[in-house]
């Protein structure tokens, strides 16, 4: 049995402003630093052998704060397979202004839809393909060897992995929201199948 811990990065400066961040690289806001430290306190009872994240600052800083808070010195691997969704032409735009422009229905498809195309960007389906491939090829073998793993990333990358782990349908994935600083804790068997699940550090989005 192994633990798989998923943590969404703490609130960033772009999150505070309602800006679609995508592959942009803002720092954590002060509130995001607090969220990361609070998240760490909720998993103090869990052993961590390996960390995985992307090269984006908000992901790396969140994981570094968690490890620092816990006094954990386990190795960390960075890979852009775990980066946030590329929002293409919507990157840097205020999401609530976009909602006014395109209407509620199209906005929900854009923000949460499974295979909604974005000019010069990615659909959630495309994010799923790269995240799950990396998980299967790199992370799962470590879990199958009994390692306890933590992944720090963004909402869409983690939603993709949760979809895979929990076998969520293409239709139902639109309802899944992971708040900044929120932690999903899975116990997995030697085949990578879920034994149990907890959500820690929950708070309103």
Which residues touch 6 (CB under 8 Å, ≥6 apart)? 150, 151, 153, 158, 161, 162, 178, 183, 184, 185, 186
- Round to whole Å and give the CA distance between 184 and 204: 15
Q: Specify the DSSP element, H or E, that contains 190.
A: none
**Is-catalytic flag, 84?**
yes
Q: Is 166 exposed, middle or buried (0-12, 13-18, 19+ CB in 10 A)?
A: middle
Of the residues 13, 35, 78, 84, only one is catalytic, namely: 84
Question: What dihedral angle (degrees, nearest 10) is formed by the CA atoms of 95, 78, 82, 55?
Answer: 20
Q: Which of 9, 35, 59, 182 is catalytic?
A: 9
Active site residue 171: no
CA angle 106, 109, 114 (to 5 degrees): 160
Residues with catalytic annotation? 9, 84
């Amino acid at each position: 049995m192994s633990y798989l811990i998923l943590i969404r990065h703490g609130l960033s400066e772009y999150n505070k402003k309602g800006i679609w961040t995508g592959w942009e690289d803002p720092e954590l806001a002060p509130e995001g630093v607090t969220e990361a430290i609070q998240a760490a306190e909720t998993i103090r009872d869990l052993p961590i052998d390996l960390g995985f994240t992307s090269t984006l600052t908000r992901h790396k800083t969140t994981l570094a704060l968690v490890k620092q808070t816990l006094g954990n010195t386990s190795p960390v691997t960075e890979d852009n397979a775990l980066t946030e969704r590329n929002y293409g032409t919507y990157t840097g735009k205020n999401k609530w202004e976009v909602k006014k422009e395109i209407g509620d229905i199209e906005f929900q498809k854009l923000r949460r839809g499974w295979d909604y195309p974005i000019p010069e960007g990615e659909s959630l389906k495309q994010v799923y393909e790269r995240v799950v491939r990396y998980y299967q090829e790199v992370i799962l073998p470590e879990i199958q060897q009994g390692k306890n793993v933590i992944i720090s990333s963004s909402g869409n990358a983690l939603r993709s992995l949760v979809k895979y782990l929990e076998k969520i349908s293409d239709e139902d994935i639109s309802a899944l929201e992971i708040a900044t600083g929120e932690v999903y804790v899975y116990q997995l068997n030697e085949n990578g199948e879920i034994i149990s699940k907890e959500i820690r550090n929950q708070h309103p989005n």
